[in-house]
Structure 1
């Protein structure tokens, strides 16, 4: 296994328990903020939530990345205002449930790639983030499809988000290799 970006930034040492707790808290805070900031975009407003989910996986690795997203989901389930438009168990079982489940699996998947050295170049970042986005969108649209039918799920829960997700993947492909170069100094 390769050192993650977080481990590299912390002098290449294995993260202590305190550092892990601080990383999880920082990750959930950043994710909560990203859920509430909407960027005007076409055809739907864009939040940076999926970008932050995937960056958490890329920076923290599979285990710590998944733990961070799980902590975020627990915060939301407990009623903390960390999601874009609601909180609590009922909200989590609603139309966004598939996307929220996708966050957890996508962070773990992107983290798995990161644990194996991906994310240091544009190409490996692209591979990891496309895989993570596919998980989020497939689970999100799949959940919607079970409730509203496949045609409506694709029309409202998948296609409108593709342009914004493409922008976020491009941003990650530009940013993550730069962060790695910075971390190695």
Structure 2
């Protein structure tokens, strides 16, 4: 697999944007609200499935090596943080959104919103499941599934749904321009 300089630059840029999104946060008791999902979704839309996936893998890899680019730090011990599942979810999210949008002939609000919401579903599915597992198995505190949903899903779903709408709305404007300029591949290419 050989990546062109342009592709490496774009992958790195979305890795950096996701890291910046981690520091734009509203602290809450267990899971901080950040803008990581915004940049993860844009990585899938603008880079496609493969390169969007690479950008998020690079982000998680850099953080696990020890660079404190996650919302609460970094390093290999971060695997045991209750919020690490959301990072795994970002990897899946970028891939899923990219896979479902890169082949769209018509860019419309609903055509983009549906993949973004699908990607968001996987962020929460993996994130809340991991939160539940770590709290129960590693932290040693008993947490019910309902409690995990109340801590890791309910406070964030409304802002993330609004963010999903913003992502779809902006993509409808930006993607056609990027396709015409050749920066984003059109399915006809």
Report the TM-score range of the alignment, normalised by the length of the smaller protein. Answer: 0.7 to 0.9
User: Are positions 1:153 and 2:140 aligned together?
Assistant: no
State TM-score, norm by structure 1: 0.84
The aligned residue for residue 139 of structure 2 is none
Out of 24, 31, 51, the residue aligned to residue 38 of structure 2 is 51
The aligned residue for residue 77 of structure 2 is 90
CA RMSD of aligned residues (A): 2.2
Contact 2:25 2:71 in 1 (8 A): no
Return the alpha-carbon distance in structure 2 between the equivalents of residues 19 and 153 of structure 1. Answer: 41
Out of 143, 163, 180, the residue aligned to residue 130 of structure 2 is 143
Out of 168, 177, 180, the residue aligned to residue 175 of structure 2 is 180
Structure 2: tracts of 5 or more residues without a match: 137-142, 182-189
User: Are positions 1:79 and 2:74 aligned together?
Assistant: no
Matches within 5 A, 1:1-185: 17-38=4-25, 46-117=33-104, 120-146=107-133, 147=136, 148-183=143-178, 184=180
Cα offset for 1:84?
0.9
Return the alpha-carbon distance in structure 2 between the equivalents of residues 61 and 89 of structure 1. Answer: 28
Cα offset for 1:182?
2.5
Structure 1: tracts of 5 or more residues without a match: 1-14
> For 1:44-71, what per-residue CA distance to the aligned partner results, in whole angstroms no more than 9, with x for missing partners?
8632111110110111111111011000
Return the alpha-carbon distance in structure 2 between the equivalents of residues 119 and 47 of structure 1. Answer: 30
State TM-score, norm by structure 2: 0.82
> For 1:93-147, what per-residue CA distance to the aligned partner results, in whole angstroms no more than 9, with x for missing partners?
3101211111111111001012211782101111010100000001111112223
Return the alpha-carbon distance in structure 1 between the equivalents of residues 52 and 126 of structure 2. Answer: 18
Distance 1:56 1:97, change over 3 A: same
**Alignment length (residue pairs):** 169
